[in-house]
Structure 1
Amino acid sequence: MSAAIALPDSSGPDSSRFAWLDALRGIGAVAVVAEHLLPWFLPQLRPYWFNLGVYGILVFFLVSGYIIPTSLERHGDVRAFWVSRFFRLYPLYLGVIVVMLALAWWVPLRAEVPRDGSAVAAHATMLLDVVSVGGVADTMWTLSYEMVFYLLVTALFLVRGHGRSGLLSMLFAAGAVAVGLVVSGAVVAGGWPAYVSVAVFVVGLACVVSGCLRTASACVLGLMALALLLLSSRVPWLGTAVLAVMFAGTAIHRWERGGGRLWPVAVTAALVAVAPLWAIEGGWWWVQADVWLMTIALAGATFAAGMALRGRRLPRVLTWLGLISYSLYLVHHPLLKYFVEITGDLRRAELPYQLMMTALAVAAVLAVSALSFRYVERPMQALGRRLSRRSARRLQRAGDLRMPGQGARHDGVLGHEERQVPDRVRDHVGQGDAVG
């Protein structure tokens, strides 16, 4: 994601230039919603020759990796990056948590959520999956890898190691293969990784934002994120592969701008493709060779098609879905749970009734997502934007923050990319697909 939030003007030049990214998010969002909706509402239509949810999250992570590091580089403003991250991610995230806790008397929280302080600590950092803590909402676990990526990118930026995206993507991809061969799960278990990580996270980010020991603090945070990814993740090879995909997205952007080569992306794709085939921790249907390879191929082809169509006019519905993709990502799974709690099990219902309930559920998800974007996300983004600008003005007067060679120009990409959050899939309908 990006450094400073600036909501795009739909009539401005950047909105058409980067509409393909929103369209990709729209496609990814629809895929994830379909992966969660079909097993409950229309199980006979669920595809098994590829995984809709994993396909969607791979598209999301490619988009995220494509733009986040270069956006930070263009602004050169680490403080604004983290201010924007907080106001972009946390308000809706916390709102969903509050609602789900308030309704836990009706739909109990998942068993994977610890009933102790480790759950609070893990949710505070969003590092849920890399400390092996289940999220209050099923899809929250994917935010762990976004947060790990932010921490790594910040550290790399401050030590001027951010230009080696191709190498990093290959290293993480090779690491996914190696980790899968030797690690069967979290090496470091228990609640203490969550407690330690929240303390390091809070103190470290306070230093990064304030400027006190910024580079050293960012390096500590990056090393912590890497250690958690490798040692305490629920599925270490998968998390490492996700980081490989994200850095591959960055490498694609550098190649497109003439600052790198494309062959590291091909090597990364090949390594990620074979990572689960011999992994000790595997066995889910979606990591079987034919399904996994088809899912990766479709995600890569979708991203390539989006790039080929950049600058062209795209369906407004896709760009709109991309606009609300974070809300769609966070609210759809809880809403589907509540909907099924009211309607009862629909898997054996008559087809006309299934279709009617599906239409109602989709309408409800879209409506609530649009409202949460309008009344939660957008106002909080605007607040974060104002604070970032105020901070930037103070720092310009103090001559403090910008890296050498980084101008203070407005970057239309930044606000555009604030709408990106990836999705992945968990199916808790008894299909046996859940990761962890």
Structure 2
Amino acid sequence: MNPVIEAFRGAAALAVLLHHYSYLTDGTLTGGWLHALHNGVDLFFVITGYLFAPHLLGEQRQHVGGFAIRRVFRLYPLYMLSLAVAVAKDWGEREGIVQAAVLHLVFAQALPIHGLQEVGFFSQIYWTLPVEVAFYALVAVALAMPAAAPRQPQPGRRIVLVGALALLGFVVVFATRYDPRSESWVVWQAQLPALLAQFWFGILVHRVRPWLQRSAGARAAALATGLGMLVALGALYPMAADGALTARPFGLFNLASGVGWALLFGACVASPRRMGPRATRVALGMGSISYGMYLFHEWTLKSALRLLPGLPVIVQLGAAFVMVVALALLLHRTVEAPLRRRGRILAARVES
């Protein structure tokens, strides 16, 4: 595993955690710059696009069945555990809980036929997983396509095609019917066509990485521009989110967030510098607990608020953070890592 990528995974999970902890404790959506860290979700999408670019662009071939098995064993174990917690917490107190659980199990809860209540029935964090799964389906389609002849390379054409689809999705959803106060529109924009651009930025990072590796000036420019964009977006966030139904302001804000993260990520992942042993361990540890932190941080915060009433908010937040890190580490070692290894073994059997 690449420690730079794992460090960015951990940073993305931490950003989303801080965003949710911020508005779940102060009760507002635009009360502070910490809320802008919801764009850690855009970083997750950039990383996914980067990691699967070789498959999507036809540079690396993989058996579709093996790919699907690896994805199932990557997504489902901790996801099902978190859903079990959500169902157990609400069992007997809400109607429609079984139907909601089934929709979540097949990643169909965020389809545009549903309203915001169905999308966030259990939690506000699960909506991103159907977007990831839709991108995996796109990768699977690319893997199922016949391999190109040696003299007919496909990466450039596929980059243009995915970019065109991303542009079309963005224009249709954001330029022609932008309405952040509409519940149906908010659900519609949480689909892959509208968010494909962030994945495409990750694909572009993969393609330009060799050039970035050769050019220290390009890396420095990407690093400075990416950091500058993200800081500026954080400052502008309250205005961007004003009037929106959710903490995500949509549109150009998140598109620019994707660009900023892609520039920063590209500069770091292409750097010839190597982390020291201690930094590498920290980075790999951040990546290993990122999924568990993402899935369980809301539950641990609510538990801390319930178990520690009357204490200062900073103490409650600190306790919630310690709880989710410990839980994510435990689940990674006992559930996530062993089952991922099992998935790789099963995938190898299918591919042999």
TM (normalized to structure 1)?
Answer: 0.60
1:386 and 2:348 matched? no
1:143 and 2:102 matched? no
1:53 to 38, 42, 50: 38
Distance 2:74 2:341 in 1: 9
One-letter identity of the residue aligned with 2:301: L
Q: How does 1:86-125 map to 2 (within 5 A)?
A: 86-104=72-90, 115=96, 118-125=99-106
Q: How does 1:219-238 map to 2 (within 5 A)?
A: 234-236=187-189
Match of 1:252 in 2: 205
Distance 1:355 1:300 in 2: 32
1:313 and 2:272 matched? no
1:331 to 296, 310, 315: 296
Q: What is the CA deviation profile of residues 359-400 of structure 1, one whole-angstrom value per residue up to 9, with x for unaligned ones?
A: 21111110001011111101111211221122222xxxxxxx
Match of 1:372 in 2: 331
Distance 1:70 1:335 in 2: 37
> Mean Cα displacement is larger for which, 285-294 or 123-132?
285-294
Match of 1:128 in 2: 109
Unaligned runs of at least 5 residues, structure 1: 1-14, 190-230, 263-272, 394-436
Distance 1:241 1:341, change over 3 A: same
In 1, are the aligned partners of 2:189 and 2:195 still within 8 Å (CA)? no
CA displacement at 1:49 relative to structure 2: 7.9
> Mean Cα displacement is larger for which, 33-42 or 286-295?
286-295
CA displacement at 1:296 relative to structure 2: 4.6
Distance 1:115 1:169, change over 3 A: same
CA displacement at 1:297 relative to structure 2: 5.5
Q: How does 1:273-312 map to 2 (within 5 A)?
A: 286-287=248-249, 295-296=257-258, 298-309=260-271, 312=274
Distance 1:50 1:118, change over 3 A: closer
Q: What is the CA deviation profile of residues 169-202 of structure 1, one whole-angstrom value per residue up to 9, with x for unaligned ones?
A: 24313321222244478xxx9xxxxxxxxxxxxx
CA displacement at 1:251 relative to structure 2: 2.7
Distance 2:177 2:62 in 1: 38
TM (normalized to structure 2)?
Answer: 0.73
Indicate the SS of the match to 1:317: helix
Distance 1:124 1:296, change over 3 A: closer
1:179 to 143, 152, 173: 173
CA displacement at 1:339 relative to structure 2: 2.0
Distance 2:287 2:335 in 1: 16
Match of 1:67 in 2: 51
Distance 1:310 1:122, change over 3 A: farther
In 2, are the aligned partners of 1:175 and 1:237 still within 8 Å (CA)? no
Distance 1:244 1:292, change over 3 A: closer
One-letter identity of the residue aligned with 2:349: R
Distance 1:157 1:38, change over 3 A: same
Q: CA RMSD in A?
A: 4.0
One-letter identity of the residue aligned with 2:203: T
Higher RCO (CA < 8 A, seq sep 6+): 1
In 1, are the aligned partners of 2:162 and 2:200 still within 8 Å (CA)? yes
Distance 1:378 1:289, change over 3 A: closer
Indicate the SS of the match to 2:12: helix
Distance 1:288 1:104, change over 3 A: closer
CA displacement at 1:27 relative to structure 2: 1.0
In 2, are the aligned partners of 1:48 and 1:291 still within 8 Å (CA)? no
Q: What is the CA deviation profile of residues 142-161 of structure 1, one whole-angstrom value per residue up to 9, with x for unaligned ones?
A: 00100110111211332359
Distance 2:34 2:20 in 1: 16
Distance 2:139 2:199 in 1: 11
Distance 1:308 1:302 in 2: 10
In 2, are the aligned partners of 1:66 and 1:252 still within 8 Å (CA)? yes
Aligned length in residues: 307
Q: What is the CA deviation profile of residues 189-217 of structure 1, one whole-angstrom value per residue up to 9, with x for unaligned ones?
A: 9xxxxxxxxxxxxxxxxxxxxxxxxxxxx
Distance 2:245 2:84 in 1: 35
In 2, are the aligned partners of 1:129 and 1:141 still within 8 Å (CA)? yes
More helix by share: 2
Distance 1:36 1:49 in 2: 9
One-letter identity of the residue aligned with 1:287: P
Calculate percent identity across the aligned residue pairs. 26
Distance 1:233 1:385, change over 3 A: farther
CA displacement at 1:69 relative to structure 2: 3.8
